[in-house]
Amino acid sequence: MFHLSNLIDRQRGHLFPWSPVLLGIGIGVYFTVKSEPTGATLISLLLVALVVGLVARRLPPAAQVCVAGLVLIALGFTLAAWRAQVVAAPTLSFRYYGPVEGRIVDIDRSQSDAVRLTLDRVVLDNIRPARTPSKVRVSLHGTQGHHTPEVGQIVIMTGHLSPPSGPVEPGGFDFQRMAWFKGIGAVGYTRTPVLLWKSETTGGIGLAITRLRLDISKEVQAILPGSAGAFAAAITTGDRSGMDTATLEDLRASNLAHLLAISGLHMGLLTGFVFAAIRYGLVLIPSIALRAPVKKIGAAGALIAGAAYLALSGGNVATERAFVMVSTMLLAVLADRRAITLRAVALAALIALTLRPETLMGPGFQMSFAATIALVAVFGWMRDTDWSNSRWPWLLRVVFGVAASSAVAGIATAPIAAAHFNQIPHYGLLANIVSVPVMGAIVMPAAVLAAVLWPIGLHWIGLKLMEPAIVWILKVADLVAHLPGALSHIWSPSPAVLPLLALGFLWIVLWQGRARGLGGLSVLLAGVLWHSTPRPDLIVNETGSLIGVMTSEGRHVSKSRGDSFAAMSWLENDGDPVKQALAFGRNGFQTHERRHVIQLNDTTIFHATGKIAGAQAIADCGKAEFVVVNIKADQSTQAGCTVFDLVSLRRSGALALYRQGDVLRWETARARQGARPWSQ
């Protein structure tokens, strides 16, 4: 106990930044457990935390700190559970085809580049309102153009809807969970024209802001046509519907996609420019500079500008998180405190996690806070150790600042990006060095100028000023993305890897003393686990219509087209994102029309699609250990082998088969998810 007290004493003044870490551990535990905690369990947990917290007041300081940590973990767990219940909404439980009516609340694009509408006030044929999803998302295919959708309109269509799908493989990205927290109860598509049923309806300030945002986006793209206009609309209003797939891929491959997302960089550049403009503008007026707190006035003005930017950009999670971080620092300026410290970042993280605990599991939260913590820690260390570059020439200082910032942020976020997106851009530092200064010095100031001039109709001046800079950024992205070896790919890690990486990184940054180096052991362990993470030898999608078998040359999929989302997700998770047609041409199993025979060790597996081929595969059940079909199987025909049919697959979700020596181990997506509200 004495040794523990000494350790805790050395951390005095540095304990607060651990608060969001401990809260996050509790949130992470909630999303990891396999069953939903009951209300009684949560109430008991809170009561125990309260009692223990009160009793701890009489304990030694070291024990108080330990108890406070446990209380924060319990609070994080309870907070996440409470949030999951607050956002609960009806979810479609079957496949629906028929008339769909709803009010447009958002317009964006799907991965296939189709226009996509998010509808609320949904009406479905012969479905009671209590069972109707509060929101649905519909992609527009087929012949459209009879009507131009706009936010606020009530539209009708004939659509195919289905419940949000589960992970495409056990442990894969959980779209059901994401849809649950967004309130989306069904997704689908229509091939019939979308028709206007009622014109714009009143929907409160939120819908009015969304309409304003999309109107601004249209105006920006009218003045700046092409990719430059789409980029400008994305960074000013958050509307990416004009961005084409090729440009997005170039930005991702060059590690410049973060310039498109309205997040910490944009909010920091905008508020920083407004803060500097107001502060130094007032300094030029002696009567004001000598009497007024110009620094605080600048901070207040920047705070208002950030709030306006948050509203006009759509208020998505990334922008909301960026605003919380920036406003925390600006409020520190108003309170005469140092703005950029780990305590300020910790406070911002606490607020962000309290508002939306589910964001902890997403790449946006992880990457933005990883980059911010790394930048604050590294530049704070440089300041504290008097590692100053103030004697360098101005241009060299600027270049060093951009290069160091890009390198630090890139190193901090690279493992997270690789884990979530399975790719590593090798020339991202180069692309950022030549693009970020242009973004900060030209694009964002020009955007502020356009906003200031908008009321008098001269906004085109600011937009035209930013156009050459945006064209430069897009050309850099295109050039860097197509350099030889610009991008490499990596397989998905096991679930324990990112938590170990995060805890090791945070320990190195936050812990005081020689034990700081222990964080490196956690990072090393994460690397070993990642390297040893196996990929499934066989994957089956949740309808049984697609399989993928691992071979020496990569995964062999059973279709050259169709079920493309599952196929591409498997290949990306393998670290081998080739075209589906190429993966189909590999040699991993025998194929005869719509039947496939897979041989793993001494185990034979039949896979068949369609009624005739499926029935024949089931009839031949005795010749194989397992049969996978995408039809409903008669229970009486399943003797002699294990049959995975449409019904059982819908219960279990996607399947994965692993070879462990001579033993084959099956794993299901539903077992990995557990019995959670979003997976019922």
| Average pLDDT of span 634-661 | 83
Judgement on whether residues 273 and 188 belong to the same structural domain of the protein: no
366 and 279, same structural domain? yes
Whether residue 485 is found in the same domain as residue 501: no
Q: Which domain holds residue 303?
A: 214-489
614/629 Cα distance (integer angstroms): 5
Are residues 233 and 167 located together in one domain of the fold? no
Whether 71 and 218 map to the same domain: the answer is no
Do residues 111 and 54 share a domain? no
Domain endpoint, select from 177, 201, 225: 201
Tens digit of each residue's pLDDT (9 = 90 or more) over 210-260: 778 888 888 999 999 889 999 998 888 878 878 888 888 888 888 888 787
Proportion of the chain above pLDDT 70, given as a percent: 93
Same domain as 162, residue 264: no
> Considering the entire predicted model, what is its pTM?
0.87
Q: CA separation (Å) from 437 to 290, 404, 407, 445, 473?
A: 33, 13, 14, 12, 10
Confidence grade of residue 654 (pLDDT, cut at 50, 70, 90)? very high
| Alpha helices per DSSP H over 356-458 | 363-384, 394-421, 428-438, 444-453
* pLDDT at residue 387, as a whole number: 58
Q: How many domains does the chain have?
A: 5
H helix intervals, 422-543: 428-438, 444-453, 459-481, 497-510, 518-531
> Does residue 188 share a domain with residue 119?
yes
Q: Does residue 665 share a domain with residue 519? A: no
What is the rounded distance in angstroms from the CA atom of residue 382 to the CA atom of residue 101?
Answer: 59
d(CA 316, CA 178) in angstroms, rounded, equals: 14
258 in a structural domain: yes
Domain boundary among 461, 489, 517: 489
Percent of the chain with pLDDT over 90: 40
Q: Say what the pLDDT of residue 204 is.
A: 67
Has residue 207 been placed in a domain? Answer: no
Q: How far apart are CA 578 and CA 457, in angstroms?
A: 48
Is the pLDDT reported for residue 263 higher than 80? no
Q: Quick one: 359 and 228 in the same domain?
A: yes
Write the CA distances from 628 to 395, 525, 542, 563, integer angstroms. Answer: 65, 37, 11, 16
Does 91 reside within a domain?
no
Mean pLDDT taken over the chain: 86
User: Does 108 lie in the same domain as 36?
Assistant: no
Output the six-digit token pair for 111: 């991965």
Q: Is 118 left (phi over 0), alpha (psi -120 to 50) or beta?
A: beta
What CA–CA distance (Å, rounded) separates 352 from 79?
12
Secondary structure string (H, E, C) spanning 190-238 = ECCCCEEEECCCCCHHHHHHHHHHHHHHHHHHHHCCHHHHHHHHHHHHC
**pLDDT greater than 70 at residue 386:** no
pLDDT digits (tens, 9 = 90+) for 336-365: 877 677 888 888 889 889 989 999 998 888
* pLDDT at residue 137 greater than cutoff 90: yes
Q: At what angle do helices 204-223 and 226-237 cross, to 10 degrees?
A: 150
Report the CATH number at residue 135: 2.40.50
- Would residue 208 count as lying in a domain? no
- Domain assignment present for residue 100? The answer is yes
Last residue within a domain, chosen from 428, 455, 489:
489
pLDDT of 201: 63
Same domain, 555 and 519: no
At residue 271, does pLDDT exceed 60? yes
pLDDT in tens, 46-101: 888 888 878 877 777 777 788 888 999 999 999 999 999 999 999 998 899 999 99
State mean pLDDT over 602-611: 90
How many other β-carbons are positioned within 10 Å of the β-carbon of residue 369?
28
With respect to residue 206, please indicate whether it lies within any of the assigned structural domains: no
